[in-house]
């Protein structure tokens, strides 16, 4: 790792002294919540035939400010999955998250730079469930089963984390002083995770209900970013 960092710094025209950027983001994601899947596959809920749709999409925005190579910022993102269907139900999952992130620029070239990032924050998980059976109840809430023909939203808050690596590219050339400003495109490759520490779910009206507890999940993603900003660099004396 030290050798890689030395190689990445070698040949750079200047050292980052400040700046910042913001962007929109969008791409594809996968949702893995094995504990919740196991809960839904019980015989008094959706049964073993239930298989969640993992492929989905992600949308959001974020930004960073620079203190030298160190970066501070935040990201807000929404993850949605396609509808899953069985003989008795239709299921849709979504996850909204916000993170405080830190990063560090490990590669800085004339028009592009790369950095790993990591952050902590919170998530809100929503499960929309519609009972399409003729007579069978679905006991997601063990105390108030979902009757035939009805639908409900089940909501839970979670502790969350986020980590990945990002590459950004300026669409214009650098100034004579070695700084950049303008439109910035990029790509993020990462994964966020969530932990639901209790079984205190709520319905769409905010009423407490009984559901699965100690649920963990992972959401790997690939995102394209589009935004703008700038970097200031201090010239290296040759």
CATH number of the domain residue 11 falls in: 2.40.160.20
Q: Which of 166, 61, 51, 159 is nearest to 104 (CA)?
A: 166
Q: Which of 48, 61, 53, 46 is nearest to 31 (CA)?
A: 53
Q: What are the pLDDT digits (tens) for 149-186?
A: 899 999 999 999 999 999 999 887 766 566 777 899 99
Domain span at residue 195 reads 2-235
The answer, yes or no, to whether residue 229 has pLDDT greater than 70, is: yes
The answer, yes or no, to whether residue 45 has pLDDT greater than 70, is: yes
Specify whether the CB–CB gap between 35 and 214 falls below 8 A.
yes
Q: Which of 99, 86, 83, 109 is nearest to 168 (CA)?
A: 109
User: Which pTM does this prediction carry?
Assistant: 0.86
- Categorize the per-residue pLDDT at 11 as very low, low, confident or very high, splitting at 50, 70 and 90: very low
Number of domains in the chain: 1
List for the chain the helix, strand, coil content (%; round to 5).
5, 65, 30
DSSP for 218-238 reads EEEEEEEEEEEEEEEEEEPP-
Q: What are the pLDDT digits (tens) for 186-204?
A: 999 999 999 998 878 998 8
The answer, yes or no, to whether residue 1 has pLDDT greater than 80, is: no
């Amino acid at each position: 790792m030290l050798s890689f960092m030395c190689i990445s710094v070698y040949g750079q025209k200047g050292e980052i002294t400040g700046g910042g950027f913001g962007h929109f983001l969008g791409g594809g994601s996968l949702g893995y919540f094995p504990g919740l899947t196991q809960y839904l596959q019980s015989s008094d809920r959706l049964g073993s035939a239930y298989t969640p749709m993992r492929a989905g999409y992600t949308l959001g925005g974020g930004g960073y400010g620079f203190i030298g190579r160190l970066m501070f910022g935040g990201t807000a993102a929404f993850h949605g999955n396609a509808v899953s269907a069985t003989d008795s139900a239709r299921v849709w999952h979504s996850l909204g998250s916000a993170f405080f992130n830190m990063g560090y620029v490990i590669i800085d070239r004339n028009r592009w730079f790369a950095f790993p990032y990591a952050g902590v924050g919170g998530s809100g998980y929503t499960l929309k469930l519609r009972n399409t059976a003729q007579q069978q109840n679905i006991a997601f809430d063990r105390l108030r089963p979902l009757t035939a023909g009805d639908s409900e939203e089940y909501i839970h808050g979670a502790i969350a984390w986020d980590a990945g690596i990002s590459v950004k590219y300026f669409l214009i050339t650098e100034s004579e002083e070695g700084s950049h400003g303008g439109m910035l495109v990029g790509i993020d490759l990462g994964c966020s995770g969530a932990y639901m520490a209790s079984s205190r779910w709520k319905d769409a009206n905010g009423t407490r209900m009984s559901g699965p507890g100690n649920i963990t999940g992972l959401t790997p993603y690939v995102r394209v970013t589009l935004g703008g900003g700038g970097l200031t660099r201090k010239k290296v004396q040759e």
